[in-house]
Amino acid sequence: MKNILILLTLLPLIYACGSGDKDNDAAVSGDAPTIIALDEDAKVSQAVELLLLTPDMGVSDILWQQTSGELVTFLAQTSKVIAFTPTVAGQYSFNVSFTLEDGTSKTLDYTLTVSPEQSYISARLGHAVLEGSKVSLRATINDELSATSLVWQQISGPDVSFTDSNTDGQYAVFFDAPAVEKDTLLTFSVSANGHSDIVGIIVENAETINSGQSDIAYKERLARVFPFINNSPYADVLVGCVYSNEINFNDTCQFNELPLIAQDTTTPSIDDIMDRVVVSHHWMGENFREFLENNDPHDDFKNLLRATTAIVISYDVRPSYYWVVTGAIHLDANYFWLTTDERDTINQAPDYRASFGSDLEFEMPWRYVKNNNYTTTYIAQNARESRQPEDILFGLTSLMYHELAHANDFFPPSSWSSLQSTDEILVAAQKISNTIGYQSDRLTNTLPLLGDEMFGLAQVRFHGVSANETQKSYQPSDIAAFFSSETAPQFYNYSSIREDYAMLFDGFMMKARYDISRDVAVTNSPKNATETYVVNWGQRGRIGEESIKPRVLYAVKNILPEFTNAESTVNALPEPIMMNSGGTWADNLAISPMSAIQSKRYIMEKNSKERKDRRFIQHHFYEKPVPLK
């Protein structure tokens, strides 16, 4: 067990312990760049951090390398902090090279010893952040320890305020990095049943964000990101144009700086697309490329991506969104991780919208299903389990269809030839709005959704508007009456005109390309973990309703004209399958005709799915506000 008081006493001495400057064998001064290791008594299966502290000087071109020992995985090799989990005992050596402000190149070495003792508790994950960034830390514990005994404490650095006032018994804690004047080390401990671990965060100084200035696009600190392809033709402008706190509504990039992909080529290759990818960690771009290479047989995504300027994948993007201000789609990295090491690098703060509409008396859960089974693999946050590419395929596929539907709404194929290279991205979008209008606007004008009740309730559920007394009184039977006669396939269609358009498209594409159906139901609203979601009304494959098909066809023909048989495919959509009223949400998973083998598998897995119900209740897409006049 680590003794916190002893560690605090020794911490200043550890800064120089085990490190040496290849260019200067003299002792490292207190203000010189130094490697810090908080885990001097590291154990097997315990997360270990090495931190490059440069308090009084800027550094660039950071690169960490392992020089000896059993191979470990660290995924931020160009950051000031690397973290890894050794699986065997022994000595591990590393070096970090970097360039000082005066152009001098430096290299520091560090060697640590991992004992054969198995770790009972591990705090994850040490990393470097800019001041004001959102930070999440998570504990993993041995089965012998009790989660209810977990206690988090800050032990050094400027005080932070955890999002939850009481973090005892919590696997994860969340906070915003404090303002600092120079690189500053924060350390935290987590303990349970007499075992403890420490994790460190380096907070870096950054330019102040004037959040009160109305024309600032991003008012919260963004993560540091970089072009995935460092020699991309757009490497010098990508970050500044699409993911920077310097972006201003009144001065967005012009197309001659960062054009739509369609303005470069209407038949983009994967290489063309990867030239537009911005990431916070290199593995995110690698997994995105693998997805495009192996899961785009119809070139759907290559074609849909033509309406974007860039693809941003970052550990702090949550939820995913398309934003016309930059012309880029922003994807939650949680859709891409395959290994537990990759997952550790993602900010795990919950979706801020999870509590919206909590005082309503109904829920409208939804899910994608195939062969009476969920199409995505759920792994609990606390499980140290990897995923296979097929485990993320359909969740990522539906996300891509949805966000790219937004991009092709604002910049449809019919508009590309008229775009002016000297136009700013936002100005060009405004011109389209003022002249021909967006396709989603046209849909609303010709085939509108009706039902003021559902529109009002969507503002409560998805945008955080306070429910009035009438809305609070609605029971599931009331909602079923409102919704079932309407022409929206999902509740989220009522969130906005733009979301209505995108939801029609992604639901159809999942059915047309993968024979995957979407369920929607009206249920009660359980207020505790022991209650069950009971279906009042529900359907599978609601886009097959005759009254909804014309709206689906309109969206598909305008978003993806390359889908040449859209009309016949829409007309052939099967009628919806009704759910069994009074049954649970989990029981209604097996409502499609199935073979004896499928039936047996369903019975075996039913209990597991019952426990997963809540995962599918607050899973929604997101439309970022657009400052169009």
Cα separation of 83 and 327, whole Å?
34
Residue pair 63/97 in contact (Cβ under 8 Å)? The answer is yes
Question: pTM of whole model > 0.95?
Answer: no
CATH architecture observed for domain 4-204:
Sandwich (2.60)
**Cross-strand pairs, 123:** 139
Report strand pairing: 105-118 vs 90-100: antiparallel
Place of tokens 């870096």: 204
Burial of 109 (0-12, 13-18, 19+ CB in 10 A): middle
pLDDT for the residue numbered 16: 30
The domain segmentation of the chain, as residue ranges, is 4-204, 226-338, 356-378+439-616
Q: Which residues pair with 374 in a beta bridge?
A: 369
CA 109 and chain centroid, separation: 34
Rounded CA separation 334/313 (Å): 10
* pLDDT at position 251: 87
Burial 264-303 (b: 16+ CB within 10 A, else e): eeeebeeebbbbbbbbbbebbbbbbbebbeebbeeebbbb
Q: What is the CA radius of gyration of the chain?
A: 26
CB contact set of 456 (below 8 Å; sequence gap of 6+): 471
pLDDT of residue 619: 41
What is the greatest pairwise CA distance in the chain?
80
Here the tokens at position 372 are 């009476």
Report yes or no: 67 and 91 within 8 Å, Cβ to Cβ: no
The span from the CA of 312 to the CA of 585, in Å, is: 35
E-strand spans in 379-497?
none
Strand-pairing partners, residue 130, are: 204
Locate 167 and state its tokens: 């973090």
Query: φ and ψ at 388, to 5 degrees?
Result: -100, 160
The contacts of residue 133 (CB under 8 Å, 6+ apart) are 176, 177, 221, 222, 223, 316
Strands (E), 236-393: 277-279, 310-314, 321-323, 328-332, 366-370, 373-374
pLDDT for residue 168 = 84
Tally Cβ neighbours within 10 Å of residue 574: 11
Strands (E), 354-472: 366-370, 373-374
Identify the H or E element spanning 11: helix 4-14
Which portions of the chain are predicted below pLDDT 70? 1-31, 211, 594-629
CA 185 – CA 620 distance, rounded (Å): 36
**pLDDT of amino acid 594:** 65
